[in-house]
Amino acid sequence: MENVLLSQLSLHQQPCKIKVRICRIWESTTPYSKGDIFSLDCLLVDKEEFSMQATIRKQDAEDLKCRITEGKVYVIEKFSVIPTRKKFVAVDRYYMIQLSKSTQFTEVEDDSEGIPLHSFNFSTFYEINKKQHNDSILTDVVGKIAAIGEITHRYISQSLPPIRNLEIEDFERTTMPATLWDRFATDFDEANIYEEEKSTPIIIILAGMTVRTESTFIDMLSIEDIF
């Protein structure tokens, strides 16, 4: 059976194989969910640089976490093609892939086809300003770190998760705030960034952000990953 490209998949897909890199894995959650997840999700990309989201139901998440590794290339079989969600998706597609306990993963050691390591759909600061409370497609943004705040805590749904505020700057030297939550706030290596910044500007990619308005500024939160 030949591999099918992601762009060729449809809702009436016959059983097939895809060869893709799992370039991101994240737990779909919000600061309001008290650590509970909705699903485990992945961003897949193939040799044509076409990306598609894959989702894993909450009840299958722990099993599949042990079988896949972010950054590796797999041939994947026994999956379903389903309509994309209406909210909180990483890429704008009609369909997404659903993986389950019966899905088969065969790791590919030799990636001779040069499948990209990452896939992003960057928004400009101008575009982000127009996306307030539009949660259909999550936001990827790149910029220079302009300021790093201290870890604080915000009262959300009867809990006090840690947060850290950043300011990032685009090539026009416009700044925009971003808020890191939970482990992204606590794992952020502030000391190393300040040390590296002495010799070169530090560029950061924030992937899978939601956009909110607080007072008079835009606040980007609920992040998938940092690069």
CATH number listed for the domain at residues 125-226: 2.40.50.140
| pLDDT (tens place) for every residue of the chain, 227 residues total | 789 999 999 998 888 999 999 999 988 776 565 567 778 999 999 999 999 999 999 999 999 999 999 999 999 999 999 999 888 889 999 999 999 999 999 999 877 678 999 999 999 998 888 877 677 888 899 999 999 989 888 887 777 888 898 999 999 999 988 888 888 888 888 888 888 888 888 899 988 888 876 543 444 444 555 66
Q: Any idea which residue has 């899978």 for tokens?
A: 208
- Is 3.40.50.2000 the CATH classification of the domain at 6-108? no
Q: Give the type of residue at 42.
A: C
Start-to-end CA distance of the chain, whole Å, equals 36
Q: How far apart are CA 103 and CA 136, in angstroms?
A: 27
Check if 6-108 and 125-226 are the same fold.
yes
Tokens representing 45 are 């990309």
Domain ranges of the chain: 6-108, 125-226
DSSP-derived pairing of the beta strands 162-169 and 139-153:
antiparallel
The pLDDT value given to residue 57: 92
Please state the pTM of the whole predicted model. 0.85
Is there a contact between 221 and 212 (Cβ–Cβ < 8 Å)? yes
